[in-house]
Amino acid sequence: MNQPTSPMAAPAARVGLHGLLPVIPTPFLAGRADEDSLRRFLDYFLPWLDGYTVLGSTGEAPSLSTAERMRIAEVAMSHTPPGKTVVVGVSHTSVDDSLALARHAQSIGARGVLCAAPYYFITSAPGMLRYLRALDEAIDIELVLYDNPVATGFQLAADTVCEWAALLSNLHTVKLTDHDLAKIDTWHDAGLTVLAGDDPIAFRYLLRAGDVESAYEVFAARVLPLIHVFGIGDEIATSKAVLKDMGLFASAEVLPPLVEASPARSELVRLGYRVAIGRAHAEQSHTPES
């Protein structure tokens, strides 16, 4: 879930992206992007969101061709009402493909692009800056740096990112999936917006902010039943199992090398979803009318 770690603390001069901008999965049917399911999904969730991030790791972007990614971004943007913030993933092992994806995202109205370090070759800080500088010079929208060391194998130092932000015109936002929460204070002090890359990070930051009891109540009642069975790392397949049950996705398909959730695992996920939704409905029924 892409959510600012401390929106109330953001200084007025900060120009990074803000809001509830969850990463969304890409629906597939018979091995191809299912555009009807994508539109149905957006219709269901967009009223509750500030926007979303498409074609990140949850969207299985590494398994898609550049042309397929552009088409999915076009379908999503054309079905998104004005005023919503859309971020398009452009991470790629080829800088030319990243540039093409970034320019395309800007041309269809995206507010930002999300870029992680290229994988396969060992990445260095100078090499990554060279990569980001090419992207920065190609666009006029927000360049969101994705700090995801598990997927990329690249450890981003907090001070290094601050140095890059001072050199690049469009880098004001970092998406944090590394659990080194000390980075948050460093980046906030530098005027950067930090988006929480997963629910445990958002929860742990709330604990650091001092509201321990409220944070734990929300986390335990609404989030823990889901993430416990969704799992960190295989949430693409498990999310799709629930979305199919909800009637939003026509299929729970994933692309190779991923595999669909097993029937037993899918049933656990359904249970977690029912528990979380049941508690949310119970809370709403006990809320006094205004």
Each residue's pLDDT tens digit, 210-219: 667 777 777 7
- Give a yes or no: residue 138 inside a domain: yes
- Give a yes or no: residue 30 inside a domain: yes
State the residue for tokens 């919503």.
84
Q: Looking at residue 12, which CATH number applies to its domain?
A: 3.20.20.70
- Give a yes or no: residue 253 inside a domain: no
Q: How many domains does the chain have?
A: 1
Domain range enclosing 52? 3-198
Tell me the C-alpha distance between 211 and 14, whole Å. Answer: 24
For every one of its 290 residues, what pLDDT tens digit does the chain have, with 9 covering 90 and above?
Answer: 455 554 334 333 446 898 899 999 999 999 999 999 999 999 999 999 999 999 999 999 999 999 999 999 999 999 999 999 999 999 999 999 999 999 999 999 999 999 999 989 999 999 999 999 999 999 999 999 999 998 999 999 999 999 999 999 999 999 999 988 899 999 999 999 999 887 777 777 666 666 677 777 777 777 776 676 777 668 899 999 999 999 999 999 999 999 999 998 888 888 878 877 776 666 666 555 44
- Give a yes or no: residue 88 inside a domain: yes
Buried-exposed string 190-201: b where 16+ CB fall within 10 A, e elsewhere = bbbbbbbbbbbb
- Give a yes or no: residue 24 inside a domain: yes
The answer to whether 142 touches 112, Cβ cutoff 8 Å, is yes
- Give a yes or no: residue 191 inside a domain: yes
Tell me the C-alpha distance between 207 and 215, whole Å. Answer: 7
- Give a yes or no: residue 152 inside a domain: yes
pLDDT single digits (tens) 87-140: 999 999 999 999 999 999 999 999 999 999 998 999 999 999 999 999 999 999
